[in-house]
Amino acid sequence: MQWNGVRRAHSLWCKSLTHSTHPCIPVSMSSLEAFDKLPSTSTKERIQRFSSGAWIQGRDLSTSNSFNDDKSFGEDSIPWKRHSRKVSQGQLLLRNSTVSGTLWESKHFQEHKYHTFRNDNGIPYSPNKVVRDIPKFVKIVEVGPRDGLQNEKNIVPTSVKVELIQRLVSAGLPVVEATSFVSPKWVPQLADAKDVMDAVNTLDGARLPVLTPNLKGFEAAVSAGAKEVAIFASASESFSLSNINCTIEESLLRYRDVATAAKELSIPVRGYVSCVAGCPVEGAVPPSKVAHVVKELYDMGCFEISLGDTIGIGTPVSVLINESGSVVPMLEAVMAAVPAEKLAVHFHDTYGQALANILVSLQMGIKIVDASVAGLGGCPYAKGASGNVATEDVVYMLNGLGVQTNVDLGKLIAAGDFISKHLSRPNGSKASVALNRRTTAVASKI
């Protein structure tokens, strides 16, 4: 097919671009100097000192998402000790932490003390308008084993993928997207989907969804033991053609069949919409187009819809007329069609905008964030797309904001180091590099 030829050439170009520019994350001298002035600490202590979050009380924890795990993370179930005291308005938010346990066991051994603001009636509140609207729990959907590894030049052995998934689950991630049941001719990197699922589908502690582009993929996924699937549409016609070889409307017809089959088996279906902030071929994508595709997926029964900035081009707001890449207007249009609690955000970090976009999304009511360990990834059919935002960086930011994730940052960093070492490249997470670099520097002085 002529289009396939064009697409292959395009994809090869994309891959070469992605690989030749894979980030070697710089760490600014000023931040390192600041670290060096601090007393020597272990990586674990540093993770806790610089990243552990204060509990910001009094915000809404509930969600109507029927497949959401938030309820299991209610205040009482959180394995941290919390402690609050009455402080007057205007005082700084303070937190002390005392630490025990071994390096990668931070979640289970740390003890935190929190100091929240309370008004005269003893009601806790957050004094800062930046964090006031941010949810107190964010569900992180780890997409590294799928989105991260689907674009690798060298095919990663099944055993490495399986160990990566096991490590991510044991780090406390509630959802780890395991693989894709797509055509192995199109994505040979994930041709071992069945073997991966055979090895991981008995793992406890996390949901392990897989991508299915059509009924054939859905049936293969179910036979391999998948208990949750994801379908992936696009808000851009050109991207839909290059990614799944059909128009948007044709893809929605296919996905309706998948959704119907899944409903019969009571299998939850997640939806994706790509190119929500811009398309590598078409440029600007109108928010109304994004909202239309999101609503279609919602109406066919998707329990959650992830909004993908596939090429990482978006900024929180763009003041340039006719310019794509505004996350806020896009979210406003989507939220007018589908409830905010059904939405996730999925930012690639090509332009370094992902954390800013996540923050503004949280402020607008989003409670689900996709991320990829060590910043792995990129789409084989998206020109110039780099990896997703690194999960470690998201957890670091959320910890700092006092948002609960139940993810053990130490174990997560170890998982990122594991896969980066296998791929023979630096870890793409800035938080991870900074925390690891400090440990090495301290160790070299002993």
Ligand X SMILES: CC(C)(COP(=O)([O-])OP(=O)([O-])OC[C@H]1O[C@@H](n2cnc3c(N)ncnc32)[C@H](O)[C@@H]1OP(=O)([O-])[O-])[C@@H](O)C(=O)NCCC(=O)NCCSC(=O)C[C@@](C)(O)CC(=O)[O-]
Q: Which residues are catalytic?
A: 379
Assign 321 to helix, strand or coil. coil
CB of residue 332 vs ligand X: minimum separation in angstroms? 20
CB of residue 122 vs ligand X: minimum separation in angstroms? 45
Structure tokens at 186: 């199109």
Q: Which class for 237: exposed (0-12), middle (13-18), buried (19 or more C-beta within 10 A)?
A: middle
Q: Give the residues lining the site for ligand X (CB under 6 A).
A: 147, 150, 180-183, 186-187, 213-214, 216-217, 220, 232, 243-245, 272, 274, 308, 310, 346, 379-381
Calpha distance 177→197 (Å, rounded): 11
Question: Residue 114: enclosing H or E segment and its boundaries?
Answer: strand 111-114
Q: Which class for 81: exposed (0-12), middle (13-18), buried (19 or more C-beta within 10 A)?
A: exposed
CA-to-CA separations, 340 to 61, 154, 179, 203, 317, in angstroms, rounded: 14, 38, 26, 30, 19
Neighbours of 37 (CB within 10 A): 6
Q: Name the closest residue to ligand X (Cβ).
A: 308
CB of residue 263 vs ligand X: minimum separation in angstroms? 19
Q: With respect to ligand X, which residue has the nearer C-beta, 138 or 235? A: 235
Half-sphere exposure at residue 55, Cβ-oriented, CA atoms within 13 angstroms: 25
Q: With respect to ligand X, which residue has the nearer C-beta, 3 or 109? A: 3
Q: With respect to ligand X, which residue has the nearer C-beta, 50 or 181? A: 181
Do 269 and 296 meet the contact criterion of CB atoms below 8 Å apart?
A: no
CB of residue 267 vs ligand X: minimum separation in angstroms? 16
Q: With respect to ligand X, which residue has the nearer C-beta, 82 or 194? A: 194
Question: Residue 391: enclosing H or E segment and its boundaries?
Answer: helix 391-401
CB of residue 295 vs ligand X: minimum separation in angstroms? 18
Q: With respect to ligand X, which residue has the nearer C-beta, 230 or 435? A: 230
CA-to-CA separations, 359 to 125, 138, 347, 394, 400, in angstroms, rounded: 19, 11, 11, 10, 12
Structure tokens at 171: 């780090």
CB of residue 285 vs ligand X: minimum separation in angstroms? 11
Residue (of 22, 16, 20, 12) closest to 242 by Cα position: 12
Q: With respect to ligand X, which residue has the nearer C-beta, 315 or 399? A: 315
Q: With respect to ligand X, which residue has the nearer C-beta, 10 or 83? A: 10
Angle, helices 237-244 vs 2-20, to 10°: value is: 90
CB of residue 224 vs ligand X: minimum separation in angstroms? 11
Which residues touch 190 (CB under 8 Å, ≥6 apart)?
Answer: 146, 149, 150, 179, 180, 182, 184
Neighbours of 204 (CB within 10 A): 5
Beta-strand relationship, 95-98 and 111-114: antiparallel
Do 333 and 340 meet the contact criterion of CB atoms below 8 Å apart?
A: no
Do 167 and 415 meet the contact criterion of CB atoms below 8 Å apart?
A: yes
Residue (of 402, 357, 389, 353) closest to 143 by Cα position: 389
Q: With respect to ligand X, which residue has the nearer C-beta, 290 or 407? A: 290
CB of residue 272 vs ligand X: minimum separation in angstroms? 4
